[in-house]
A and B are shown apart, each in its own frame.
Chain A
């Protein structure tokens, strides 16, 4: 069965790139535009892994990750943070919120797929 990835990013450009990359790599892809929508979509989609941005309107990546982890059902779902930020303090914050891994943009499709493979069974 195809693995399902939920991507959360406010940039249309990045969403499109993720969609193309993930679909080409044989994943099912569901998308959300910010943390709030991410939490909504999560309920219906039940993904195998989540890839999220940090800087987003309404609910940012930290809040989104916390929201996911708070839900009994999604405590163990791998969450990868895909962001241009590389600063250690923010990384740490994302980890504390419950992020599984951190991938720094620019977007390298091979690295992303590799990381997703690494955290999903």
Chain B
């Protein structure tokens, strides 16, 4: 793995963290005060900062840092997360996302935006907080508060004072530091027993120190009591060290960096100290030269480490005071809410395991591999169908074990297929979350106050569908906020809440996913829409259209309701493009509007673009597949039920109502004249608009799961045909586009783009 790959992972992770951040902030906006929510939000920003720091992404780090500081204030209850505060934070989350994208794809973020937010964030953090710099830096304070009391070297032994000679005597090979010109330092190092309980080791520190230069060490055992008084967990030894090094005092202090708080340490340049350790004979102690070479001998090292753990064992045991136990219990309780402190410690491990299992273990898989698997399963389905067919053709007994095995195989294939599809299924949540940002942005730009409510975010759909959903949805949300919802003044005048509501809903309905976007705005101005369509020659001036048909005019190419093309909606994308991208997904879009009360866009999309359950039918000698989800029922028409209507139209009466009869073979130009309905089968289908049609086919072959192969990708778009598939016998069959056929039956040509096809 190289840096670029890690960077790639970092940006993937950023995306997840940003989603987490936004959803957390939105939850807080809805009044969620769960500390875990706040923590998760904090961690998201913190993680981004950490990774960004590692890659030297300074802009990102700088902004994340300010953001994090303010979030920390919320986390520590110094700042109340009011709606105003959260507004700033949500905007900051947007900027953080932009900065992340800029870091990944190049480009930059409008500095005035981030600078303004930095100021706001800082104001929030400072407004209710004492300045952080007021806190004393604890490590230094601790070091100063505990001066090295017993420092034996402090006693002067040479009254004359020693001045280092500022030139080199290298030629003499003299080892005296002062004479070689290297600065010398005197160090006293007196560990307290806590040092050992934190996994530090005096011998290791001394070893490290010895690497800086030539060193003389004396171990002072002066404080070692008699055996009877010996406390095995106390620290009695301390060390006097002289070192000659050109690395400087900072390097020496760095060695003791981790030990600083748990020892008494003095470091003095020799010229300041009035004595060297060599004069220690006069001190009332027994200096023992310390042999660092033991560290090079494994046995000795092990002995030391064994001694250390023995030493510290007791020390740590002692350190486990009541307060410590409480702290640990609290930590455990966070893992799983258990009241009993005693049980908590024991439960912590078990809870950990439970949580690990409950969180759902995941792996990341390359999408290509999943695609390959899906393709293979598709082939398996086709193969299984082929096998079934040849068994049926050859099997005369009808109850052979082959049949049973085949049935089982069919079931297994089905299960494998469902499982493989489930791999690709993902909740629509990320797309929905992105929409809340769009709403914020447009609301800001238009000076409107909008609330986005999302429902059914966990509804799962194939990843390919999700990916293609974002763009049309973004456009529709923009429209809803920009055109749909009125200004606060207008809303107030109309007696509505000044805050507009946009509701985004996802749900499953009969094997499809239904996405609804509803706003409580003014609804479609039908008169204006109609006039506009006439002006643009989209409809004749005398056209007699229902309300619903007028509403659906906005899907016509080149149609825009905005009087003036605004920055927000007028990006050269009309609703016709939205409609086309939805249709390209095998979906349908429809609008209903109520003047004064708002509009509802409904999108119905397939759950997957890979397979569908279909009814295999014969039409004029051709085999076609009709998606099962479209079929309400099938019936054998009787002569008495068929009624002629005009020259070319026929109706079928079903349970006292009339339904137009559509000859599929005729509409697809498979034959020149209409077939006799009594000789065929009628499939009662429902189009997205709700209207029913009876599709006439010659015969039904059966129901089958088919693998969808794109016709566009392999051939070209064929009006009335949604896609193709391969049947069990290896033949290609076309999959009927029911809505297109229903639309065509209304007199719209299949050859042109069927702009009004979705009109109910």
Which residues of A line the B interface, CB within 8 A? Answer: 10-14, 16-17, 19-20, 35-37, 39-40, 53, 55-60, 62-63, 66-67, 69-70, 72, 75-79, 83-84, 87-89, 91-92, 95, 97-102, 105-107, 115, 118-121
Contacts and interface: CB of A to CB of B under 8 A. Distances in A.
A39 B345 CA distance: 12
B324 A66 contact: yes
Contact of B51 (A14, A57, A63, A78): A14
19 contacts: A14-B51, A37-B352, A40-B353, A57-B40, A59-B334, A59-B352, A63-B332, A63-B334, A67-B348, A75-B312, A75-B313, A79-B199, A88-B135, A89-B135, A89-B138, A92-B261, A97-B327, A107-B54, A120-B204
B597 to A, nearest CB: 44
A75 to B, nearest CB: 4
B335 A58 contact: yes
Q: Which of A13, A40, A77, A121 has the most CB of B within 10 A?
A: A13
A58 B355 contact: yes
B50 interface: yes
Contacts of B196: 76
Nearest to B208: A118
A76 B194 CA distance: 11
Minimum-distance CB pairs A-B, first 9 = A63-B331, A106-B53, A101-B258, A36-B352, A13-B10, A100-B199, A78-B199, A13-B51, A88-B138
A116 B295 CA distance: 17
B437 interface: no
Given A88-B139, A106-B56, A121 B204 contact: yes
Given A40-B353, A106-B53, A16 B258 contact: no
Contacts of A102: 258
Contacts of A83: 50
**Interface class of chain B by DSSP:** helix
A97 B465 CA distance: 49
Given A40-B353, A40-B356, 7 more contacts: A13-B10, A35-B331, A37-B356, A76-B308, A76-B313, A98-B199, A121-B295
A76 B331 contact: no
Nearest to B68: A84
B309 A75 contact: yes
Contacts of B46: 55, 84
B200 interface: yes
Contacts of A88: 135-139
Interface of B: 1, 5-6, 9-10, 12-13, 39-40, 42-43, 46-47, 49-51, 53-54, 56, 61, 132, 135-139, 196-201, 203-205, 208, 255, 257-258, 261-262, 295, 301, 304-305, 308-309, 312-313, 316, 320, 324, 327-328, 330-332, 334-335, 345, 348-349, 351-353, 355-356
A21 to B, nearest CB: 10
A55 to B, nearest CB: 5
Given A119-B204, A119-B258, A99 B198 contact: yes
B43 A56 contact: yes
A77 B205 CA distance: 15
B51 A95 contact: no
Contacts of A79: 198-199
A79 B261 CA distance: 15
B138 A36 contact: no
A22 to B, nearest CB: 12
Contacts of B331: 35, 59-60, 62-63, 66-67
Nearest to A87: B132
A92 B138 contact: yes
Contact of B54 (A53, A106, A115): A106
A11 B199 contact: no
Contacts of B328: 63, 66-67, 70
A91 B1 contact: no
A41 B23 CA distance: 31
A16 B6 contact: yes
Contacts of A55: 39, 42-43, 46-47
Contacts of A105: 50, 53-54
A12 B201 contact: no
Contact of B348 (A13, A39, A118): A39
A98 B198 contact: yes
B53 A107 contact: yes
Contacts of A95: 198, 261-262
A92 B50 CA distance: 20
A91 B138 contact: yes
A101 B257 contact: yes
Contacts of A20: 1, 6
A84 to B, nearest CB: 5
B319 to A, nearest CB: 8
A120 B304 CA distance: 12
Contacts of B327: 66, 97
A69 B255 contact: no
Nearest to B345: A70
